[in-house]
Structure 1
Amino acid sequence: MRIILAEDNDILRKSLSFFLESKGFKVDQFSDGQEALEAIESDNYDLVLTDVNMPGISGMEITQYIRETLKSDIPIIIFTSSGVEQTELDSFDLGANEFMSKPVSPAVLLVRINKLLNSRT
């Protein structure tokens, strides 16, 4: 299973990537939203993990592009450090499947990933 992880916080990105790879996932990491979006356009992924606020393109813009331009139903989980309820509502409106506040618990993330991937099979 291939996951794209777009997160500009180096420590969080590297630790989540290490954790997910230890669980058998192949993870492509990006700290810039534009680079992540280019990878999504040119490669096949099973899941997208993205932060809301990133350099280049935001996680919201990535979500909107995947749903509206690529017409893809790939599962998307959005992370944010913002505790603003409207951000969560907006992410669901754009087509995100899950929303997680930071700090992200790797164990909870794994449960949500497995739930989303199992519902697609």
Structure 2
Amino acid sequence: MLHKMIRVLIADDSAIARDVVRAGIKTHQSKRYFEIDVVPDGQQALDVLHKKQIDIAFIDINMPGLSGPEVISAMKETKSNGCLAIAMSSDMNEKARAIFTEFGAYHFLKKPFHQEDVAGIVSSYITMTEGYPILIVDDSTTMRKLTRKILENSRFNFDISEADSAAAALKMVSTGKFRIVLTDFHMPDVDGLELAGAIRDQSSKISIYMMSTNDTTYLERSAAFIGITGFLKKPFTAQDIDTVMHKLLGLDDPNFGKVRDLFSFFERERKAS
């Protein structure tokens, strides 16, 4: 399988930090080809981000000229909008954290860090860009289109298919193609729980997520018994999908990411015990 090159930017005025990041990236060179740009200040970092589409940007918070937060906040106006931005510093104040969160930064590396920390982030990126076959099941054309758009805005790479009924969904699932199913709960004839049970009869490996606009508390025990992986309360966002995928794939939660319980009663019982 041919993988696209990964373009990485390392922006730090510390040569030591730049070398550690580069060493962490190089641990993956047997799997993917990397093009690495290394710069010592914020203005040069922004120049690179304007010039080419960067996939992963390691940005020091405190740099000469433009600071890390200023570079991150300007990133949306560059070719690299949407890249995986990693903030680096020995400390981070609340103002910087607020900027990184607002503009979609992914993670924070506290100095001094090790090449293994960098390698873990690069590994997460590689995992995100693998293809994940996913089936959207909803009788509403509008909701299927909306869900597709949300998936397309996720950091993860999905191969998206759609089904407008439980019968169509089961026929498609029987091909063995899909890894994930997102199904609406309220559908005519067969509801989401019944469909999930039928899917689970076919395969124990497919991850099933239920979409619902209503309070799902009364459904959660039945859903867990059937083998539903979790719920997505409508309206949900691409960031919620990212949270789901991090948990599904066992990836570390991003520092600036959103953590969302998939079965809220599990969390309630844990806190009560």
Shorter-chain TM-score: which interval? 0.7 to 0.9
Q: Is this contact kept in 2: 1:4–1:45, CA < 8 A?
A: yes
AA partner of residue 110 (structure 2): S
5+ unaligned residues in a row in structure 1: which ranges? none
Aligned to 2:51: 42
Deviation at 1:27, TM superposition (A): 1.6
Deviation, 1:59, is 1.1
The structure whose RCO (Cα within 8 Å, separation 6+) is larger is 1
Q: Percent of aligned pairs with the same residue? A: 25
1:18 aligns with 2:23: yes
1:113 is aligned to 2:104: no
Deviation at 1:117, TM superposition (A): 4.2
Q: Distance in 1 between matches of 2:127 and 2:97?
A: 23
1:21-100 equivalences in 2 (<5 Å): 21-24=26-29, 25-67=34-76, 69-70=77-78, 72-84=81-93, 87-100=96-109
Letter in 1 for 2:78: L
Once the two structures are overlaid, the 10-residue window that deviates more, 44-53 or 102-111, is: 102-111
Counterpart amino acid of residue 18 in structure 1? A
Based on CA coordinates, which of the two structures has the bigger radius of gyration?
2
Distance 1:18 1:106, change over 3 A: closer
Secondary structure in 1 aligned to 2:58?
strand
How far apart, in 1, do the equivalents of 2:24 and 2:121 lie?
14
Structure with bigger helix share is 1
Distance 1:3 1:82 in 2: 23
1:12 maps to amino acid: A
Contact 1:5/1:13, CA 8 A, preserved across alignment: yes
CA RMSD, aligned part only?
2.0
> Aligned-pair distance for 1:15?
3.0
Q: 1:90 to 1:43 in 2, by over 3 A?
A: closer
Counterparts of 1:91 and 1:12 in 2: how far apart (Å)? 20
Q: What is the TM-score when the length of structure 2 is the normalising length?
A: 0.40
TM-score (norm 1): 0.84
SS of residue in 2 equivalent to 1:116: helix
Q: How many residues align?
A: 120
